[in-house]
Amino acid sequence: MKKRKQQLTPKQEIFIHELLADPAMNAAKSAEKAGYSKKTAKVQGHQLLQKPLIKAAIEQAQEKRIQRLEISADELSQFWAAIAFTPISEFYNEDPDALFGFLGHLAVLSYVFEVYSGQTGGRCPGFQRSN
């Protein structure tokens, strides 16, 4: 019997898209947004992350994202140093929404740095930057 090449289902593709769009990479929320039941989204999200086909698709998408950024680890380190030594008042004007937005951007940048440097803190097991 001939083996069929495995393909992602439309729900799985949406799950991956939503997962990568979420700075926290919350699998349960991503599963729910992909159309899985709210009651089972946590379990479904976890199970989806265990599937080799989905793991590979996530890793491939992350690698493509990194390649699009075309930024070196040194440039990213310099950027972080600039942020670290800039007074918070430069980013925050006492508007709670502005602070929330700033913190969200920091979370995204932190994640990009972790992925790029290969230090994902366990959020995306098995991902390593290829040299």
106 within a domain of the structure (yes/no):
yes
What's the whole-number mean pLDDT along residues 73-86? 76
33 within a domain of the structure (yes/no):
yes
Report the number of distinct structural domains present in the chain: 1
| 46 band by pLDDT with thresholds 50, 70 and 90 | very high
DSSP labels, 16-51 = HHHHHHSTT--HHHHHHHTT--TTTHHHHHHHHHH-
Q: Which domain holds residue 57?
A: 10-117
For 49, the token pair is 């992350």
| 55 band by pLDDT with thresholds 50, 70 and 90 | very high
* 8 Å CB contact between 3 and 41: no
* 8 Å CB contact between 34 and 45: no
Tell me what the pLDDT averaged over the chain comes to: 77
What's the whole-number mean pLDDT along residues 34-50? 95
**What is the CATH number for 18?**
1.10.10.1400
| 54 band by pLDDT with thresholds 50, 70 and 90 | very high
29 within a domain of the structure (yes/no):
yes
pTM: 0.54
